[in-house]
Amino acid sequence: MSTKRRKSTRVEVGLGNVFADLGLKDADQLMARSQIGLHIFKILEQKRLKQREIASILGIAQSDVSHLMNGHFSRFTTDKLLDFLRRLDRKVTIEVSPHHEGEPYQEVISAT
């Protein structure tokens, strides 16, 4: 009978922002951009459009659609991602409020 040794696993609790956990500059902005991109991805996935159709709606090249659908949201500016939401007939509301310790400076919340 062989005895297997278990390796101990070290677990770290994240901050809720993988970009901050990795120590990346502008982590809040990167997180907000990825959250906006994810909303766009979900909308497009629900519509079940072909890349050619998505490119036409969003006004981008088909190769950029591929980047978008593969989660490469950092290839697009926040303004461009917000424009995609407009082109997808979505309303975006920006709320400005005081910052409280421990919360992100930029946050994306979906009402849908």
Domain CATH number, residue 53: 1.10.260.40
Give residue for tokens 């919340």: 109
The pTM (predicted TM-score) of the whole model is 0.79
Q: Give me the pLDDT at residue 12, please.
A: 77
53 part of a folded domain: yes
Share of the chain above pLDDT 90, in %: 57
Q: Give me the pLDDT at residue 88, please.
A: 97
Sequence-separated (6 or more) residues with CB below 8 Å from residue 94: none
108 part of a folded domain: no
24 part of a folded domain: yes
Residue-number span of the structural domain to which 32 is assigned:
20-87
93 part of a folded domain: no
User: How many CB atoms within 10 Å of residue 15?
Assistant: 13
Q: Give me the pLDDT at residue 71, please.
A: 94
pLDDT higher than threshold 90 for residue 112 = no
36 part of a folded domain: yes
How many domains is the chain partitioned into structurally?
Answer: 1
Residue 11 buriedness (CB in 10 A; 0-12 / 13-18 / 19+): exposed
Query: Once rounded to an integer, what is the mean pLDDT over residues 25-41?
Result: 92
Query: Once rounded to an integer, what is the mean pLDDT over residues 27-47?
Result: 93
